[in-house]
Every structure is written in structure tokens, then in C-alpha cells.
Structure 1
Amino acid sequence: MDKVVERERLSDSATHGRLRALIVDDEPLARRGLEIRLEAHPDVEIVGEYGDGLSAIAGLREHRPDLVFLDVQMPGMDGFETLRSIPAHEMPLVVFVTAYDHYAIRAFEASATDYLLKPVEETRLAQALARVQLARSQREASGHCAHLLGLLGELSGRPLLDLDEALKPDALEQLRRDDKLAVRDGGRTVRVDLASIRWIDAAGDYMCIHTDGPVDRAAPQGETLVLRATMRDLEKQLDPQRFPRIHRSTIVNARRVVELRPHTNGEGFLRLDCGQELKLSRTHRDKLALLL
């Protein structure tokens, strides 16, 4: 698309006030849920929906949207890798969609147009769209790139980056090596030391993160943080070498395991340094090498 056509598209979009948007998420239900909520916003036109980064990049080139709702956690090419593949002069406004606060809420608030936590709430969506409209009316392309540079630089721990440096693969890897996990527990957000996590288990639609108490690491009593998420979501965020899944509803901090006791039918019991016992299911016995 040449510069004249692009200017005409931007002018027409601004005149009518409508946002041409893409939805990029590997979960069909998540895409559908966002689509339903956007039906209440006639100023947004969904021009494409994609389930992976590669097809999203093709959609960006085809539709030249004003806005992309971009899922952070996708298999294969995730949200950050997708960003790395978009030329700076073609970068639309971006609203990140994530199931986890692990992706640095402070960085999103400071540097992104906005972010949404799954499941998306109608009031938060309205706030995000208001911020997007304001950003579109005020920003130049270079200004938006500066926002993204701030985000990616902060996530990588290297704030003074140019765009090419900020979008290198090690920016995301630095985030994944972070020693803290940001968890929204009710109305608060808590940054938890990964080393303090004992184990994680599922409770219906929620995950319980069992951590050390404030006084004694080895004490049986500790603190339990509860967040709305799935086991699959947490597995994406945690290093599987440090936090292997040992049961369909349990993830354990491998460094906290002190004893393995065999049980029947190929199952076993793990004892943690706090005294807690957890079942190792037969289907996850391949994790033994990580636990001993």
C-alpha cells in the first residue's frame, strides 16, 4: 500500500471515528467472547480474527488495522514474537490481552496503549477503547513506537534500546527468567518470589498458589494466593524445568522436593521441605528426573 492510499485510509478512519480492529488469540472461545463484547461498541469494526501469530501478521498486512487485540500467551509465535515481526512504520495501536499479571502490569500501564485481563470485563473493555481513541487522536506513529519501546525495554531490563534491539528474542527471555511472579489476589496484586512457591493446585476455576509464610520457610503454615486461571495458563508462564506438573491438578516447585515415596500402580508421593505431601500421578512419572 503506497503512502497516498495509506493517508487516505487513515483520514477516512479518523473522519468516521471507527476503529478497524483485529483480534488475535489462539483460543476460539476467547475470540468469540471479545467479539460479543465489542458488539456493544459501534465505533469498533472487527476486520479480522486470527488464532496464531503468523496468520495475524498476514492479516495486518492485508487489513492495515488501527488496533490489534493481541493475546500475549500463544503457542508457537506468541504475542511478543508477533510484535517483533511487524515493521515499525506499520505498527497499529496494541491492546494486550493476557490471562496473567506475570507480564508486568506496571510495564503495561506505563508503556502500552492498554491491557486487558482474561476474562475480559465490559467496563475494562470500555476504558481500554476510550484510551485507544484518545491515543489515536493524539499520537504520531513515532510516539506509539516509543510506547512500545518503553514496554519492551522495561520487560527486557534494558530500557535504553532502539526498536530493533527491543524486539530481539532475548527481551522476552529476560522476562521469563524473572525471579518474581505477579499475582492478582482479590483486589490486590502481589509480586511473589518464585523460590517461595511450594506448590500450585487447581480449585475449580481458580488456582491456589501455596507459598512460604512470612516468618519461617520450613513452617507448615504458609500463605495461599488465589487467582482465576487454568492449569494450562500457569504452565505457559512458569519454567517447566523448575515447576513441573506432577498431576492433572498440581504443579510443584522441584527445588522444594526432599523425598519421593513409591505408591501403587506406578504412582508416588512427594514430600516437600515444609512437610506437605503431594501425589505424583503415573502419567507424570517422566518428571522424576526433574524432582530428584
Structure 2
Amino acid sequence: MTQKIRTLVVDDESLARRGLVVRLQAFDQIELLAECQSARQALAMIGEEQPDLVFLDIQMPSMNGFELLREVKASGFKMPLVVFVTAYDQYAIKAFEVRAIDYLLKPVDHERLEQSIKRIEKNLEQREQEQQQQRILNLLADATGEDCEDILKRLASGDDVNVARYPEHIAIKESGEITRVAINSIEWVDAAGDYMCIHASNETHILRRTMKELEEELNPQRFQRIHRSAIVNMEHVEKLCSRQNGEYHIVLRNGKELKVSRSYKDRIKKLILNP
């Protein structure tokens, strides 16, 4: 690994804590952030430093190691990799139930610690690869307008992923003039007979095209049909409201309310809950 493994050592026994720290100094890939003598202190450090790894004693006063992990999760902090270090082996099964990466018995010998760190490095490398893959998928999703899951399915089946290019502006001819309207400024579009009304930046432009033609030029990751004759820019949606009569309306940031037809309701609800 090119980056050091940012590490905390948590143990209420000073001798055990210092002994582990001394052994860890033999591994160049380990960067010791702090020694914590209590779970409360460790909780604060995890929230502040977001370490990659924690060597954690199980039996500690006030809050034990398992309780600390529950507090980390409840606080919404990034969960580090955990290696439990304890003088008792009866906690081994429970340690792996909470997905600890390893379980070391005190006193920890060098060979066993080396095995544990190799396992940690492998796990972190795999995690980094998965995060890189997700970043690439997100970029492809933005460029193609497809969901990440759909892209993975197409790649798995050997199909090509075509990168669509969506225009940044749309040209609208009105009263002998041609206005370039930024796509991102469009808040919503609604049909009016053979025309469409493009609502953007507190202005309304009239465009003589079909809804289907315009929809093909808009990135579906951002623009969604909410009605047979209406499209909205999801970046401008503030909330989705349900009425007593069962109808749904979206409210834009400018206060405009637009009705959502039943056929599009579930799709819009999903996008709002999982942007």
C-alpha cells in the first residue's frame, strides 16, 4: 500500500497498550494516530480522525469494545476496520459476528501481529478497488444517463456502454431572435398544444418541438417525466407531497407545484429518497 494505515490503539491497561504500540512500531505501514485509555476517548477520536484501523480491547470499564462499536454506528461515524485484542478467547465468536477483521490474544507476539496486518492491508486494498470502481460507475452513469446497476449488467453480458453527450444549451427561436438557454437552468417543461413552455431562470420560452424530441436531448439522470406533458429538473425539486385525494405533487425551490401522474409517482419517489 502507498498510503499508511491510520491507526488507533484502545486499551484501558497502560502496559498492554504500550506493549502493542511498541510492536506496531516495527511496521512502517502503520501510522499511530493516538493511544486511547477508554472507549469514550476512542469514540471522540474516531469521530474526529476517522482512522482506517482500531486495535480494540474488549473488557473496559464504563463501555466495552462491543458497546463502543455500537456507539460509532449510532453516531454516524465512518466505521474503521477493527482488530480485537483481549486476554480472553471466549469473545472470539462474537467478535467476528460484529465483523472484526481479526482477533488477537494478549500478549500479542510479532508473528501473529504480522499476519493480522497483512490481512488488514489486503482488506483495505480491496475496499479501495471497490471505491474506485464505484467512482467510475458514477461517472459512466452521469455520462450515459443509465443506472449503475444497469451498467454493471451490460458490462457483465459483454455489451458496450455508449457514452451519450447531452448539450449544455438549447437554441430557442422566438420573434425572429434565437436565445441560447442553459440546460441546467431549466426548472420544468410543460406542453401547450403543439408547443412547449421552457421555464428557466424566472423566464418562459416557447419551443416548437415535441416532448419526445426534447426528452432525448436531456440527461435522464437530471430530467424526469412526471406527467405525460411535463418534465422537471430534479435538481430544482424541493419535496414531494401527497394529498388527501391520493394525488402527488412536487414542489420546486421557487414554490411552483406540479402534479405527478400515478404512472410516474413511484419513479419520482425513489429518485427523491435515493438521489
TM above 0.5, yes or no, is: no
TM-score by length of 2: 0.43
Which structure's relative contact order is higher, taking Cα pairs within 8 Å and 6+ residues apart?
1
TM-score by length of 1: 0.41
| Greater Cα radius of gyration, structure 1 or 2 | 2
